[in-house]
Structure 1
Amino acid sequence: MRKVNHLKKYSIYAVMLGGLIFTGCSDDDTPEVENEEEVITDVTLVFTNDDDPSDVVTARAEDPDGAGLQELTILDEINLGLNKSYTLTLQIENNLNSPGEDITEEVEEESDEHQFFFSFTDGAFANPTGDGNIDNAADPLNYNDEDANGNPVGLSTAWTTAANALSAGSFSLKLQHLPDIKSSTSEATDGDTDIALTFVLNIN
């Protein structure tokens, strides 16, 4: 039985090699690449105080060469007030060309294939409690948005800071691309990672 399996394997390899040679000679029939990854050069976190919309805290990450050797680099720390409620929205852009491209809109349009996960210093927030849902998707997280199937997205989330000051804590987010596999139990390790960032978090 093993010999048969090996023969099948070698036959498959031969067919694959033949297919590669054939397609190499026919440029006109080359299929288009589907689900091509988007280039992301700028990510901005915007925390807006629910009780005072003029109180806005932003934190940015930038990758000036897009798909080049550099990665997204953190530019700012997150500085929030004690015992305040914020709505966090995310802005994702590709600014390699002018005008830039709004990747946020694409994530919204493909919300059934994307989900943000978050982690943070344990106890930094009164709501959600704990340390986020990157390590365990079932842990508390306040999503304000969902896809057509009722599953969370994470372009908008709700946060209430704790009453105790925090210095040099951490706040992380991950955007997972989950084509054809996103569900109510999707984890931060499923699919492919489009964005992974960790900011310094201060609350005072």
Structure 2
Amino acid sequence: MKNLKRIALLVVPVLFLTSCSNDDTPVNEEEVITTVRVTLVGGGQTIVLESRDLDGDGPNAPVLTPIEGGILVAGTTYEGSTEFLNELEDPAEDITVEVEEEGADHQVFYQVPSSVGTVTYTDTDADGRPIGLNFTLVAGTSGSSGNLTVTLRHLPNKTATGVAAGDITNAGGNTDAVVSFSVAVN
């Protein structure tokens, strides 16, 4: 019985130490995203939409910058790009780089009423599936308005029905960032 106790005293700590150490598995910690910036260039305009939440998950709401550069012009094609930043770091960390490098694991979704515009992806991951950091937006009907919602998903099911065309309904995955901008078409 004494030998059994001694063996148990030696084996239990070894099991505990080996079960708590797994240096072979890379850790991909969730990034802090404080700023989402959408830039639209077209028709002689540069329009910037920005959401900044400099207290992260703190109590303060994000600050949405009103449309800088004007209102969308009906029928105009805008070349779009979206950036994700962590401005709690100094200098600011550009999360966009990681999203692009891990493109197969990320997708940016754009939801906008069809009367305001239509979005088409212009970038893809190594498997030829959309990432969504770059896109075109064709402005819709003059006098229309609504929200442009930008959602960054981690590990979406890029093969699910409609996901390649930007339909977030069946995408699954985890939401890393979501923001809605009020937009209008003139």
TM beyond 0.5:
yes
Distance (whole Å) between structure 2 residues aligned to residue 103 and residue 202 of structure 1: 28
Deviation at 1:182, TM superposition (A): 3.6
Distance (whole Å) between structure 1 residues aligned to residue 141 and residue 58 of structure 2: 42
Query: Do the aligned partners of 2:115 and 2:144 also contact (CA within 8 Å) in 1?
Result: no
Query: Do the aligned partners of 1:151 and 1:184 also contact (CA within 8 Å) in 2?
Result: no
Distance (whole Å) between structure 2 residues aligned to residue 101 and residue 85 of structure 1: 30
Q: Render the CA deviation track for 1:153-199: whole Å, top value 9, x for unaligned.
A: 110111111242224x21111111017x4436446250100111111
| Aligned CA distance change for structure 1 residues 184 and 144 (closer, same or farther; 3 Å) | farther
Query: Do the aligned partners of 2:115 and 2:141 also contact (CA within 8 Å) in 1?
Result: no
Q: % of aligned pairs identical? A: 31
Q: Render the CA deviation track for 1:45-96: whole Å, top value 9, x for unaligned.
A: 10001x53xx200011011112434454423247312221101101111111
Q: Which moved more, 1:83-92 or 1:65-74?
A: 65-74
Query: Do the aligned partners of 1:118 and 1:172 also contact (CA within 8 Å) in 2?
Result: yes
Amino acid at match of 2:154: H
119, 133, 149: which one pairs with 2:111? 119
User: Could you list the runs of 5+ residues in structure 1 that have no partner in the other structure?
Assistant: 1-18, 129-140
Instruction: Name 1:200's counterpart in structure 2.
Output: 182
Matching of residues 127-166 of structure 1 within 5 Å: 128=118, 141-166=119-144
35, 39, 49: which one pairs with 1:46? 39
Q: Render the CA deviation track for 1:28-58: whole Å, top value 9, x for unaligned.
A: x544672210001111110001x53xx2000
Q: State TM-score, norm by structure 1.
A: 0.69
Q: Secondary structure at the match of 1:176?
A: strand
Runs of 4+ in 1 over 6 A off after TM superposition: none
Distance (whole Å) between structure 1 residues aligned to residue 144 and residue 67 of structure 2: 13
Q: State TM-score, norm by structure 2.
A: 0.76
Distance (whole Å) between structure 2 residues aligned to residue 164 and residue 177 of structure 1: 35
| Aligned CA distance change for structure 1 residues 148 and 61 (closer, same or farther; 3 Å) | same
User: Could you list the runs of 5+ residues in structure 2 that have no partner in the other structure?
Assistant: 1-11
Query: Do the aligned partners of 2:114 and 2:140 also contact (CA within 8 Å) in 1?
Result: no
Instruction: Name 2:49's counterpart in structure 1.
Output: 59
Instruction: Name 1:96's counterpart in structure 2.
Output: 88
